[in-house]
Chains A and B, each alone.
Chain A
């Protein structure tokens, strides 16, 4: 034990290591704070939905209540959906700054609505967010370099290495002690601020444990690399330069190269095509007999087929029917688009097994439920909700039931996510 205390005292006497450790802790604390501020901003925005929404719907209800027309109600009512952040989201904001976490949809064609984005400043999004994942993936390795590059070479350059090797409990044991001490302190500098923030955010125990393990594993990778470089018996300067170059390649160059390669290997052009094709289908309905549209709609949705035939006047059930047919006509394209997104994401994940930087980022955003998969899952929930919306309005439209003020209150309400990694967040889900 006393040996460890001596090592600690020795370490703390070196200005560089003390500064590095304190800086690491400060940066981590700043990053988790920034993440928590952002997440609380997002929670506030979600919590503000009901007030804005009830005002908006009340105005629609005022108007619709005069005619009791369910079609107008469906046409003019926007229904909110939201993607509540998981408790761990503060640690890895992932895609939450560029993908919408609030989206309002109408019971009309969904394919013209679901790809809409929210307002964000692209110049702020460009460099990426300052969150815990960034500090761990990008910055922590540089601190490993600063603390580990001269562990043996420094002693050799000072002419102490042979003497240390000759000491009892010196040599390899001493080196191991020093490495373990540095890893432990660096790990603490990252883990303690994270732990405080995670407990304050109500992150579940399993997720906290997983993140703590990820931190340790990532640090171990970089210390192992440093130890490997040290075996080459180069000078401290050469070690530092080599390790920094490794960092550059592993954290910056290879991921960007892989990004180009993946996007090249899995081309995705369907997005804009979906929008174009869906619009063509929807608008074509105005140029073909309305009965043709209804026949096709009833063929796919026999539950409404017993509805009264169309008269000569405009009826909203026809309007909603061709919107739904428009969605259905692009279903193949939608599947292809989505599978393209999933293939790109899977390729990046595969890369994570080889590139620790990518692997850690993928793991953290998965645990925090802020990655591409989380965005697609949110889209799935929006789709499910939209199906319920359609069903709700169709119940009035196809049965010619009047839609009064009270019926607005009967509309389905978006069900937030069922459960998430990283603990329960029922409270957060209720806007």
Chain B
């Protein structure tokens, strides 16, 4: 058996004899299992609830009686953001975004009823998920178990004895590395096994799951190397521990909190009131439907009349009010898209800035990677909002087209007692409306979104390993 093997085995035996270490490890495994189970049941519960709500909303829409199509534009529909299977591992921003959205004509509503506004203050302490355990708790446990692996030998003077017996510095460090690596594996494995077990269709999601697995392997490996570095560099175990605790505090707790503040201050977001007022202003300039002499709408009317070769809207073969509604919706939706696009761009810029700061904190990198692969990051939420808007626009325009085709202009402007009845169109029209179906990104796209994070972690690991070889060479040289 090689010296490296012996050292690794010896170190592990030492840890196994340390009752506190074993208890801590068992507790972490239990915590991981609790996180996997609670996160899984939470995700399942939410996914089912939203699916049920979605079905209720769709059924309610289809069950509407004979109506004027414009009433249906205002009746609108509710859609719910489905929660993917990988959210059981890392729910990401799901609790912080609204997940139910009311879609109607003329307006773009916010997504409401997010968990964060429905929970106690505890929600801001973090969420118990497998991702949280691996990102935050696992490194701390590794620090507790590993800070003394080299510093202890130096402190006790056993380092010299080992060297006298012919153990090279490289063998020693590699042996310790292997021992702590095995501990990291024990720490990380339950979460990963649980992850695979709870994801219902692992086959189709194999790629993003592999990306997440690789990411966390790199992350924990990085901590193992960092711990060896500090332990090899420090003269006393206590120095190594305090230094590692400081690094952990800065990288895991502090920087992930400061980075968003910097990003938020650097790239301001326009709030809803200002956006709404700006959209209303732009709309008045584009075509003010309240102004009978509006040039844009007058030109629109003229072009419609010309297309059909008539001189009065009453003579049109279609209902002019429906056409006008379509034109109005086209104008407002164009503005919605423009302002939402600007806001999304600003938020993406903020996230880029945080990612850039992530070069300083591997925790930011692993968090971004993990959310991106699980499709629970801002990009995933944005995808939902954009698909919702596309669906809203298609639905409203479909209804407006029905008004143009199936309701006569004369009926539409009539106000006599029977007019309400004549304006309505048959209920079976609503039944042919397509339901909202969220199109999830492909597995390869999710995995690709994790690549930047993986490369940052890889880079960190490479640099740390390089440093470790230097520290290894100096091991025991300073006394």
Contact = CB atoms under 8 A, between A and B. Distances in A.
Contact of B347 (A30, A78, A94, A121): A121
Contacts of B137: 248, 252-253
B378 A123 contact: yes
Contacts of B343: 119
A257 B272 CA distance: 34
A252 B125 contact: yes
Interface in B112-150: 112-128, 132, 136-137, 140, 144, 147-148
The range of chain A's interface size is 35 or more
Interface string A357-396: 1100110010000011001000000000000000000000
B417 interface: yes
B126 A256 contact: yes
B112 A283 contact: no
A351 B48 CA distance: 30
Given A255-B122, A256-B125, A128 B274 contact: no
Contacts of B264: 38, 121, 124
Contact of A45 (B128, B265, B271): B271
A414 interface: no
Contacts of B260: 121, 123-127, 129-130
Interface in A1-52: 16, 27, 30, 34, 37-38, 41, 45, 48-49, 52
B254 A139 contact: yes
B100 interface: yes
Interface residues of B, number: 97
Interface in A211-263: 236-238, 240-241, 244-245, 248, 251-253, 255-260, 262-263
A268 B118 contact: yes
Nearest to B239: A16
A258 B122 contact: yes
B257 to A, nearest CB: 4
Interface stretch (B68-76, B171-179, B305-313): B68-76
Nearest to B120: A348
Contacts of A134: 257
Contact of B120 (A115, A259, A272): A259
Interface in B222-251: 237-238, 241-242, 245, 249
A252 B249 CA distance: 13
Contact of B121 (A129, A145, A272, A345): A345
Contact of A125 (B71, B96, B281, B417): B96
B110 A116 contact: yes
Given A117-B110, A126-B92, A271 B118 contact: yes
Contacts of A202: none
Interface stretch (A55-63, A161-169, A171-179, A182-190): A55-63
Interface stretch (A97-105, A327-335, A397-405, A420-428): A97-105
A237 B120 contact: no
B93 A272 contact: no
B93 A123 contact: yes
Interface stretch (B49-57, B398-406, B445-453): B49-57
A411 interface: no
A314 B415 contact: yes
A117 B125 contact: no
Contacts of A344: 118-120
Nearest to A347: B120
A67 B260 CA distance: 50
Given A275-B100, A286-B67, A362-B121, A52 B273 contact: yes
A100 B290 contact: no
Interface in B352-405: 354, 371, 377-378, 381
Contact of A372 (B121, B125, B265, B290): B121
Nearest to A313: B415
A126 B123 contact: no
A313 B414 CA distance: 9
A271 B113 contact: yes
A83 interface: no
Contacts of A138: 253
Interface string A113-154: 001111111111111111000100011001001100010000
A276 interface: yes
A139 B249 contact: yes
Contacts of B415: 312-314
Given A117-B98, A128-B257, A314-B415, 5 more contacts: A48-B274, A100-B272, A125-B93, A275-B100, A283-B74
20 contacts: A38-B264, A49-B273, A95-B121, A102-B273, A117-B110, A119-B110, A126-B93, A127-B256, A128-B125, A129-B261, A237-B237, A241-B144, A245-B144, A253-B137, A259-B127, A269-B49, A276-B78, A312-B415, A347-B120, A362-B121
What are the 4 tightest A-B residue pairs by CB atom distance, in nearest-first order? A348-B120, A122-B93, A255-B125, A124-B260
Interface of A: 16, 27, 30, 34, 37-38, 41, 45, 48-49, 52-53, 55-56, 59, 63, 78, 80, 94-95, 98-100, 102, 104, 112, 115-130, 134, 138-139, 142, 145-146, 150, 236-238, 240-241, 244-245, 248, 251-253, 255-260, 262-263, 268-269, 271-272, 275-276, 279-280, 283, 286-287, 312-314, 340-341, 344-345, 347-349, 351, 357-358, 361-362, 365, 371-372, 375
